[in-house]
Amino acid sequence: MRLDKFLSSSGICSRKEAIKLTLKGALTVNGKTVKRSDVAISPECDTVCLNGEPIRYEEFVYIMLNKPEGYISATEDGNLPVVTSLLSEALQRRGVFPCGRLDKDTVGLMILTDDGALSHALLSPKRHVAKIYGFTLSSPLPKGAEKRFAQGVPLKDGICKSARLCLSEDRLSGEIVLTEGKYHQIKRMMQTEGSEVVFLERRAFGGIPLDTALGRGEWRPLTQEEVTILKNAPAKNKDL
């Protein structure tokens, strides 16, 4: 791999900036100052340092974000702010993207990564990865909603997979577990019961709960343990 590619995919700097760093003599490979940013290196075997600090090569990055209201689940939008703009420049440079979508007004757990294969696996309808949402409604859900949700709510684009609904005593709020992601799914499911969602928060994804230490708009890398849970999520969460 070229040194400049290594630096940009490690989120350190752009390829252009890598040229400047080499001119400054800030980069070493195995202790030797490099003169060109296009030299070939082996990320696994060589030690690359910037100003004496070793750069650890990560093939992929996995981020947990507590999405605030008003952000679009995308990497670009003509008018509105996008979730990736909340990340560091280095992560944006790596091409990190959101794994699935939340509506603009939905808040809570988003996973972002540059691991396309894992993202694809987690979003595949065949995998049944569980997502838990907390919600508040405009009016109480009628009796029997739990059973109807478990049986599969019919929407115009198909029958929903069985969803587990857990309601508060006044039936105005609760949690729902989905294993798929149709457009505006929870909002539309609630509408079939004559109610509107007034607040929606994703609280867990594929066995990973939202870190409550993160404020809205804050993010952190997933721990190694969380990455392992996520990688095993498709198979393990088959039966809700």
Give the active site residue among 46, 77, 103, 211.
103
Nearer to ligand URA, 58 or 175 (CB): 175
Structure tokens at 208: 């990973």
Q: Smallest distance, Å, CB 200 to ligand URA?
A: 6
Q: How far is CA 96 from the centre of its chain?
A: 9
Among 41, 61, 200, 227, interactor with ligand URA by CB under 6 A: 200
User: CB under 6 A: which stretch of 7-15, 116-124, 160-168, 181-189 binds ligand URA?
Assistant: 181-189
2 binds ligand URA (CB under 6 A): no
233 binds ligand URA (CB under 6 A): no
How far is Cα 57 from Cα 55, in angstroms, rounded to an integer? 6
186 binds ligand URA (CB under 6 A): yes
Report CA-CA distances (Å) from 161 to 130, 142, 210.
11, 20, 23
Q: What is the pattern of x (binds ligand URA, CB under 6 A) and - over residues 69-108?
A: ---------------------------------xx--x--
Nearest Cα to Cα of residue 183 among 93, 90, 102, 94: 102
| Pairing outcome for strands 107-113 and 197-205 | parallel
How far is Cα 26 from Cα 49, in angstroms, rounded to an integer? 8
Nearest Cα to Cα of residue 98 among 73, 125, 66: 73
How far is Cα 29 from Cα 17, in angstroms, rounded to an integer? 17
Per the annotation, the verdict on 211 as an active-site residue is no
Q: Centre a 10 Å sphere on the Cβ of residue 221 and count the other Cβ atoms it contains.
A: 13
Among 164, 184, 203, 216, interactor with ligand URA by CB under 6 A: 184
Q: What is the pattern of x (binds ligand URA, CB under 6 A) and - over residues 105-124?
A: -x------------------
203 binds ligand URA (CB under 6 A): no
Nearer to ligand URA, 22 or 84 (CB): 84
- Where in the sequence numbering do the catalytic residues fall? 103
Q: Which residues bind ligand URA (CB under 6 A)?
A: 102-103, 106, 184-187, 200
